Amino acid sequence: MYSHSHLTHFAGLFGLDTSGDAIDVNRRLLHHLVALPELNGQDSSTLARVLYAWSPPPGARVTKYWKVAPGARGRFWDECREGNYICVGWDEIGDLSLFDTEDDFKTAFTAAYADEYNGNKSAITQKAKELWRLREMSEGDKIIANRGTREILAVGKVTAAGYQYRSERREYHHTVNVEWNLGAGRVLDEPVKRWATTTVAKIPATHVERLLNPNVVITEPDEDPTTTAEDEPRYTKWKKILDRKGQLIFYGPPGTGKTRAAKGFASWLLRQHSPNATTESHLTEVTFHASYAYEDFIEGFRPKAGETELKLELRDGIFKRVASEAASHPDELRIVIIDEINRADVPRVFGELMTVLEIGRRGQSVTLPTSGERLTVPENVVVLGTMNTADQSIRSLDAALRRRFGFIELMPDSDLLADTAIDELPLDQFLTELNQRIAREAGRERQIGHSFFLDNGAPIEAAETFGEVIRSDIIPLLQEIAYDDYSQLKKFLGSAVIDEAGSRLTPVVLDDGQLVAALADEYNLQIQSIPE
């Protein structure tokens, strides 16, 4: 690693001294990393890969990882290795580069393969997505060629030529040009179950090191949400909206990671502004609720502690204190995260703040009626809110509030559950199908988020865990959506799970294995495995 800016970025995350030239910073960073038990003994290239996958520096190109199976049991691997490419089937669809849009491609794919997949819409959608991913691969991306569920044949780098339709091949005409590293092949300690049903898959950054180097475990320097390779582009996009509006609200259905996104974005902003800034001193979190008041947020009289008689004293609220700190430290960023911002009466809680919060009025002041003091919102104050659309639509928010905030919609992302199956139930396809039913019956804002099926950022894999999530989280949400109308609940989960006549859940719900099988059957998601 030679970039001085990248070195100082990583050194700052660990609280190291960032002064001096690149050699000085590199030496300090390397000394710190090899002292970590989890990284001791790793070579410099592995250390660099770990760091870039963990928290890419601003402007760093994000390398995506994909897994591609070169035919059942890897039967075309020899040809791929010798020809420096990877290949897949679905030849009837023809050259992907001839399609102007993904929608045009999906229409053609459905027409070509409806019979092969017995009209299973979920399977057709999934397989179309897999094939189209070849068009999404960029120069420098990495491809893991696999055979079955537990063997990595090689790892390669996508070249500038990228996707190529090779009509001269007997079959498996869709190819991507790759430079192979044959020394990266290995047999996995544990099988990746989802690989049995998936030809092409995007591999989350959190899984890459586990696949390529199982001995590496990253210990984070603090509890802040870590910026991954996938986060960097969206954080950059959100920053542009923030610069224009001054404050943001993350909104979407429950379980879409709104609070996590706000915290991760806040941590990223702090690192961009000052690598040594900490969330403890620069980030303030508050949760709004129905009884939250102006006195809590701006200022108001409160009982004086330690007095035998009731005595009131004027106290600054949370936001007023943050604004004061920001004014005293104009070179430092101060961020306020308001969780569940829509649960309070926001115009009443904000009061005069609504006037000076607007980006064009930063630095101006307004007189507070209680204390008579002047309130100013410095330019180095950022407000991030979260909002659950299952409770309230953004259309019902106060118009003045909507004008002052930028809005970031976070919807369920089933791709985060890719490559994971609960027994024979593909987790990503299950969530997609469930949300399609919810959207039809109750609207897209009532969908179920992917976070319910994640554990520490990774998809759940055990039937027991899945069953507990369905019983304790998903079914109560669906009951709320359906207003306990069991005929509608049956539309969501099927007759094997819902007894409409008895207005109750069936005994299947209590048996994890039967529950998984019932949902797989209801959603017709049992996809034929690819032979090892």
| Segments of the chain with pLDDT less than 70 | 1-2, 38, 40-41, 43, 45-46, 49, 52-56, 58-62, 205-206, 209, 213-230, 275-280, 305-308, 310, 392, 525-532
For residue 83, give every residue at least 6 positions away whose Cβ sits within 8 Å of its Cβ, in sequence order, or none. Answer: none
* pLDDT (0 to 100) of residue 76: 94
Phi-psi region of 419 (alpha: psi -120 to 50; beta: other; left: phi over 0): left
CB-count burial class (<10 Å; 0-12, 13-18, 19+) for 7: buried
CATH architecture of 65-212: Roll (3.10)
Is CATH 3.40.50.1100 the classification given to domain 231-409?
Answer: no
DSSP 342: G
231-409 has the same fold as 65-212:
no
In a 13 Å sphere around the CA of 392, the CA atoms on its Cβ side amount to: 13
* pLDDT (0 to 100) of residue 531: 44
* pLDDT (0 to 100) of residue 504: 93
Considering the entire predicted model, what is its pTM?
Answer: 0.65
Interatomic CA distance for residues 531 and 141, integer angstroms: 27
* pLDDT (0 to 100) of residue 529: 46
* pLDDT (0 to 100) of residue 223: 37
CB 57 within 8 A of CB 9: yes
CB-count burial class (<10 Å; 0-12, 13-18, 19+) for 429: buried
Interatomic CA distance for residues 227 and 374, integer angstroms: 38
Q: Domain spans of the chain?
A: 4-54, 65-212, 231-409, 414-522
* pLDDT (0 to 100) of residue 424: 78
Q: Which stretches of 449-496 are assigned E, i.e. beta strand?
A: 454-455, 458-459
* pLDDT (0 to 100) of residue 45: 65
Q: Token pair 């987790």 is at which residue?
A: 427
Q: Token pair 């979407």 is at which residue?
A: 252
Interatomic CA distance for residues 258 and 69, integer angstroms: 34
DSSP 525: -
Phi, psi of 285 (to 5 degrees): -115, 140
3-state secondary structure of 142: strand
* pLDDT (0 to 100) of residue 56: 66
Closest CA to 283 of 297, 265, 308: 265
Phi, psi of 511 (to 5 degrees): -110, 115
At residue 176's C-alpha, the angle toward residues 175 and 179, to 5°, is 130
Say what angle helices 231-245 and 258-273 make with each other, to 10 degrees. Answer: 80
* pLDDT (0 to 100) of residue 376: 94
Give the count of beta carbons closer than 10 Å to the beta carbon of residue 188: 16
Distance of CA 14 to the CA centre of its chain: 24
